Structure 1
Amino acid sequence: MKNLFRAVLFAVLAALSWLPPAAQAAMSQWAESEGGRMRLVVISQPRNDAILALLQIEPKPGWKTYWRDPGDAGMPPQLDFAGSTNLVLRSVSFPVPEIGQDDGGRFVGYHQPVSLIVEFAKPLADAPSTINLNAIVGICEKVCVPFVASFSVPLKPGQPESEEFMQLQLAQSTLPEKPGKDFEIRNLHLSINEKLIEADVAIPNAQAPQVAFVGPPGLRFGEVEIDAGADKIAHIRIPIISEKAQAGRTITMLVKSGGRAIEATLALR
């Protein structure tokens, strides 16, 4: 059903792309680079007391871009919204990435167009707001090319947003699902000797899942070790090879299993 929903959205967006752009639409022009393009799309009407925007990144065929942690090579997106007006950044959500191997080693990222969903609080509900973004995104073929672009998009609450809303719906359909009892990250903690980060993960089947994660700044990690058995519990161990982890610091972990994916940001215990 989710795949059918995405297919319908793709068809609608393809049709919309042939129409002339709406006047004063809340989206930037495309910024172009050797390996692709990107733009900022803003949904000006608040949803659940939040302002949402999309950073759309489209690598050219044969090129790729990256998740929060790129793997062994590449660079994750660096997004600076500090110059925005009457908006406070809450979160940036990433689509489910590919996890695999390429010429650079372990790869976590995307070979296809992706949209990062950015959520803001708007402190003054009736005051004007503008999203200002300075972005550095890794776009790579055989070598990586930092893609640098700046965007400034004012919110336009009175303008029609049908295309922007469809873009948002499509982006939301690519996010990891919410953890549930049959698929969740449990018992994230430091080992007694503080040399490992360990977690138990309830998974949909008995096969070992794929795992990607981002830890606190300053920590470096070894190769992830994963054991999975018939009890549908995967035991994950992440060696710490630099500095020392501390309880209370957070880990963002993404787990893919059985065609599904979850992500959670948890504090170490």
Structure 2
Amino acid sequence: MAFMFRAASVAIFLLLPVHAIVAQPASSQGFHSRARLISGGQQGDVWLAGIEITLDQGFKTYWRNPGDSGLPPRFDWAGSENVAGAEIRYPAPDRHEDAAGVAYVYGKKVVLPVLVRAKDGTKPVRLALAAEYGVCKDICIPARADLSLDLTAGGQDRATIAAALAKVPRPQALGAPSDLAVLSVEPMTQSKPAFSVTVRAPEGTKPSLFAEGPENWIVSTSVPDDANRFTVTVEDRPKEAAAAVPLRLTLVAGGQSVETEVSLDANGLPR
């Protein structure tokens, strides 16, 4: 009788869906941090989700571009079900400077909104995420979290995700007539390719500028020469660069943020 019971149990186990056997939790404790998947329900033809990383006091994690030091986050959705795409949006970071250089970071807690598109809108959507992110205080330690979550119409974290989306820099053209704007980009004469970036920021605020080149381009941003002018230097670039290279400039001040794309030539100077 015991043998028959064990045999029946094995048979039931083998009939279970794969995700029921290997399902990961929606949250995971890591090195001085906790990662969690959250859901915000449907909005039009997309599902709203989020990656929430909570950090212990004094620790930080990194933006999509970590700056001079640190580990960029890596997110793999390969194990998800009925997912055509998962687009991560990044709220604007803070600038942190220490002996290791300038880093672009989040502290305390960050929510990265995720816009999820289903392959088939009539079927359930299940997210499975393998996340890798750096957690740093004095030194940087890689953390990993394997998470999963079924997206449902309830979306109990919708307000949290909406608040995070409001912190994502909005796209804006060069020279836009708003109170926060990247106004101009002008080449400079230096030993390395460099250019000055003039910005406009609300009175009484202290703007920060984050510059991102394409893969294998390394760029740095100085503190402002004056209240509204930064120097961006191309520290390194591929020997055979394209004739037109996109550079993304993220400007942050007074709780607002915008994102402006400009074009560089193969020598790293504005076109």
Partner of residue 256 from structure 2, selected from 236, 261, 267: 261
Is 1:86 aligned to 2:79, yes or no? no
Q: Match of 1:239?
A: 234
Q: How many residues align?
A: 235
Is 1:51 aligned to 2:47, yes or no? yes
Is 1:109 aligned to 2:105, yes or no? yes
Q: How does 1:110-149 map to 2 (within 5 A)?
A: 110-149=106-145
Partner of residue 185 from structure 1, selected from 174, 177, 182: 182
Distance 2:78 2:45 in 1: 20
Q: Match of 1:217?
A: 215
Gaps of 5+ in 1: 1-26
Distance 1:113 1:40 in 2: 13
Partner of residue 29 from structure 1, selected from 18, 26, 30: 26
Gaps of 5+ in 2: 1-23, 264-270
1:89 deviates by 3.0
Distance 1:54 1:111 in 2: 17
Partner of residue 77 from structure 1, selected from 73, 77, 100: 73
Partner of residue 35 from structure 2, selected from 13, 33, 38: 38
CA contact (8 A) 1:208 1:226 kept: no
1:103 deviates by 4.2
Distance 1:123 1:189 in 2: 45
Evaluate the alpha carbon distance shift between residue 29 and residue 83 of structure 1 in structure 2; reply closer, same or farther with a 3 A threshold: closer
Evaluate the alpha carbon distance shift between residue 121 and residue 249 of structure 1 in structure 2; reply closer, same or farther with a 3 A threshold: farther
1:208 deviates by 7.0
Range that drifts further, 61-70 or 200-209: 200-209
TM-score by length of 2: 0.72
Distance 2:126 2:31 in 1: 28
Distance 1:88 1:196 in 2: 40
Is 1:155 aligned to 2:151, yes or no? yes
Superimposed CA distance per residue, residues 107-153 of structure 1 (whole angstroms, 9 cap, x where no aligned partner): 21122111011112224221222222111010112221111111222
Q: Match of 2:200?
A: 202
Distance 2:233 2:163 in 1: 33
Which amino acid in structure 2 is aligned with residue 246 of structure 1? A
1:181 deviates by 1.9
Evaluate the alpha carbon distance shift between residue 247 and residue 53 of structure 1 in structure 2; reply closer, same or farther with a 3 A threshold: farther
- Greater Rg over alpha carbons, structure: 2
TM-score by length of 1: 0.73
Evaluate the alpha carbon distance shift between residue 57 and residue 191 of structure 1 in structure 2; reply closer, same or farther with a 3 A threshold: same
Superimposed CA distance per residue, residues 20-47 of structure 1 (whole angstroms, 9 cap, x where no aligned partner): xxxxxxx9532112211111112332x1
CA contact (8 A) 2:80 2:128 kept: yes
Evaluate the alpha carbon distance shift between residue 206 and residue 242 of structure 1 in structure 2; reply closer, same or farther with a 3 A threshold: farther
Distance 1:240 1:247 in 2: 18
